[in-house]
Amino acid sequence: MRRFFFPGYYSSPASKRTILLNIPPVEPGTVGPCPVAPDALQGIKRQQTNPARWNGAGWEPFVATLRAAGLDLAEGAAACGVYLTDAGGTACGLPHGVVLARSAGQIALLLKAAQAHRVPVTVRGGGLTTEGESVAFGGVLLDMTGMSRVLAIDAAALTVRTEAGIYWHSLAEELRRKNLDYLSAPLNLTSSVGGTLGVGGIDVNSARLGCSADQALSLQVVTPTGDVVECSDDENPELFQRVILGYGQFGIITEATLRLRPYTPLAMHYFYYSSLRTAIEDLQMLDRNDASDYSGILTIMDCAVNLLVAFDSAEREAAFRANWKSRLRGHGELGFGLCMAGHYALRPWKLREALYLLQRKRAVFPEFRRAEYMRDGKMHDRTVVFSRAVWKHWGSRNMVIPDLAMPADRFVEAVERGNAVCRKYFSHYTLYCVGIRLRPEHRPHYEMSCIPPGAEGWVYGCEFEPMIEGGVYSRDHFQAFKNAIYDIGLDLGGSYYRFGGMMKGYIRRVFGDELVERHLAMKRRADPAMILNRDVIF
């Protein structure tokens, strides 16, 4: 367990002991340093912390308006305490009340009342945010999981219409019954469809198919003023452009029509590296040449770097074997094991690191080869495998996952610098790297989002995730770590997947005042009382 001490001293009258913490003496009659002041830990920048709790003005008449309209609103500790924090576990707040979404009409009534009484509304899907984006600091928490039905599947047109509160794994279950599959979804399938479309969504096939948000053909949206609007690239395109990758600022997605594809099992290949740079260069080579259907990198620190390559068809796999496999510089599992054994035999002082890598291998690898998901050497249910592995082996009471989204030519440098930050702050960590193929026709959607301005072709993202493993870290330690990662993005001209919530202090520094002011003006026109997802971005 790690313990952190504030500058100052502590004297125990009971034990007559004084513990000195090496600070200058305090002159008699003066006030010593405050251990909980904003500047208590020198050198740690607090770009953004939890927003101030809404003071509750107008709450009672707002509740009366909802009840008169027949809307159910739950108040009290039992109802609100369930939503205290998000997956990150570092931002905590309570709403005044909770509404479980049931229909677009109900949400429209809620937002009209919220505008009239200036009551903040925070929307929550799967609650998988890590910076407090789905945590309510007063006002109403709108839980979207009550809208989780699949409305229509068109197997001929390869589309599905679904309510937006559904989790991706529930959608996948419905689609499998028709021998269909989604195109691209987040790695953790307990994310909601609507929440994902609002922030992007990255899968191991995003380097070929684009992000999850690119797969949306049309949406039903409830605007911040309570209008129910259908939008697409052809119908109400300006609203469509702002809601997709809009971080919940311009409307609540209640239904979505998504592209589909026929379901196929995956043929998986793994290549192991001890060099991040070499693995990333090989990943980008595969993507440029459309050499695989799925690709991504998952690491155990920077010691064991796994390049995942997978295929939907025997034909694509055969072409890879014939043309590209020999160009990869990674090893198979046995060859890499022998290289690592030789490496640590010459460095006995790193034996503890070697034992940790072996323990992680034994724990994680079987998850991707479980008999109920693997048949005839192919993975038949990656939806369960990847989600299960993510939360079973990476989840913790606290989860901080700062990330960088970079143009392809700056990605290697960004990851190497971020890796050095991880080594400085934590004993163990993992990196997850994946590409996103950009769709030129979707350029308006990418404004002020996780897609860096001016990026062309592909964008690459890396998540830097500490392995907390029961350790206790101060909030300032987490904050300093995240700031150090995000500062790399500022230096190299990138963006971030999670730039809202507690880290929104970076938004102007990333996108500049002109772009932010333009989006802020659009937000004020769309949301006059500024009540929808307050303090997430604006």
The pLDDT value recorded for residue 394 is: 66
Write down how long the chain is. 538
Res 15: pLDDT: 36
Q: Determine the Cα–Cα distance for residues 453 and 407; give it in Å rounded to an integer.
A: 9
Res 208: pLDDT? 94
pLDDT of residue 41: 52
Looking at the chain, the whole-number percentage of residues with pLDDT higher than 90 is 63
Q: Which region among 264-268, 372-376, 407-411, 432-436 has the lowest average model confidence (pLDDT)?
A: 372-376
Q: Lowest-confidence range among 127-141, 291-305, 462-476?
A: 462-476
Residues facing 272 on adjacent strands? 306, 331
| The 3-state secondary structure of 187-205, one letter per residue | CCCCCEHHHHHHHCCCCCC
- The amino acid that residue 282 corresponds to is D
What does the radius of gyration of the chain's CA atoms come to, in whole angstroms? Answer: 24
Residue 43 has a pLDDT of 58
List pLDDT tens digits, range 52-70: 899 999 999 999 999 999 9
Q: Which has more pLDDT, 369 or 267?
A: 267
Specify the pLDDT at position 44. 56
Q: Of 220 and 23, which is predicted with more confidence? A: 220
Residue 161 above 50 pLDDT?
A: yes
Scanning 347-381, the segments in alpha helix (DSSP H) are 351-364
Average pLDDT of the chain is 87
Query: What SS3 state is found at 91?
Result: coil
Q: Letter for the amino acid at 501?
A: G
- Integer Cα distance of 508 and 144 in angstroms: 30
Q: How many CA atoms lie within 13 A of 456 on its CB side?
A: 1
Tokens for 93?
């707040």
Least confident of 341-355, 380-394, 472-486: 380-394
**pLDDT value at residue 21:** 34
Say whether pLDDT at 349 is over 50. Answer: yes
DSSP 155-172: TTTTEEEEETTSBHHHHH
Residues 405-421 have a mean pLDDT of: 96
Query: Cα separation of 433 and 286, whole Å?
Result: 14
Contact 450, 434 (CB under 8 A): no
**Tens digits of residue pLDDT in 171-225:** 999 999 999 999 988 877 889 999 999 999 888 899 999 999 999 999 999 999 9
pLDDT of 20 > 60? The answer is: no
530: left (phi over 0), alpha (psi -120 to 50) or beta: left
CB distance 430 to 300 below 8 Å: yes
Exposed / middle / buried, residue 244 (Cβ in 10 Å: 0-12, 13-18, 19+) = buried
Crossing angle for the helix pair 408-425 and 276-288, to the nearest 10 degrees: 150
pTM metric for this prediction: 0.88
Q: If we measure between CA atoms, which residue out of 149, 381, 424, 184 comes closest to residue 295?
A: 184
**Could you report the per-residue pLDDT of 164-173, keeping only the tens digit for each?**
999 999 999 9
**Cα-based torsion angle of the residue sequence 146, 152, 158, 162 in order, rounded to the nearest 10 degrees:** -20
Q: How many Å apart are CA 188 and CA 386, to the nearest integer?
A: 7
Please check whether residue 343 is in contact with residue 357, taking contact to mean a CB–CB distance below 8 angstroms. Answer: no
Percentage of the chain beyond pLDDT 70 is: 88
Res 28 pLDDT > 80: no
Among all chains, which residue has been given the structure tokens 């305490």?
Answer: 81
HEC string of 68-88? HCCCCCEECHHHHHHHCECCC
Helix residue ranges per DSSP H, 430-506: 475-492
| Least confident stretch, 131-135, 346-350, 517-521 | 346-350
C-beta neighbour count of 329 within 10 angstroms: 13
CATH topology of domain 266-503: Vanillyl-alcohol Oxidase; Chain A, domain 3 (3.40.462)
Alpha-carbon span 226 to 410, nearest angstrom: 42
- Helix H segments across 395-455? 408-425
Is the distance from CB of 418 to CB of 480 less than 8 angstroms? no
> In sequence order, what are the beta bridge partners of 11?
18
The reported pLDDT for the residue numbered 121 is 98
Least confident among 6-20, 32-46, 85-99, 369-383: 6-20
Instruction: Give the pair of three-digit tokens for residue 199.
Output: 């922030």
DSSP letter for each residue of 116-149? HHT--EEEESS---SSSTT--SSSEEEEGGG---
- Whether residue 8 has pLDDT greater than 50: no
With beta carbons less than 8 A apart as the criterion, state whether 169 and 192 touch: no
Tell me which of 199 and 34 has the higher pLDDT. Answer: 199
Q: Whose CA is closest to 509, among 498, 494, 522, 527?
A: 494
Side chain identity at residue 382, one-letter code: R
Which tens digits make up the pLDDT trace of 426-457?
999 999 999 999 988 888 889 999 999 888 89
Structure tokens at 518: 């333009």
DSSP state of 92: B
Would you state the pLDDT for residue 18?
Answer: 34
The whole-number pLDDT of residue 109 equals: 98
Residue 327 has pLDDT above 70, yes or no: yes
Per-residue pLDDT averaged across 526-533, rounded?
97
Q: Which residue has the tokens 């809601």?
A: 243
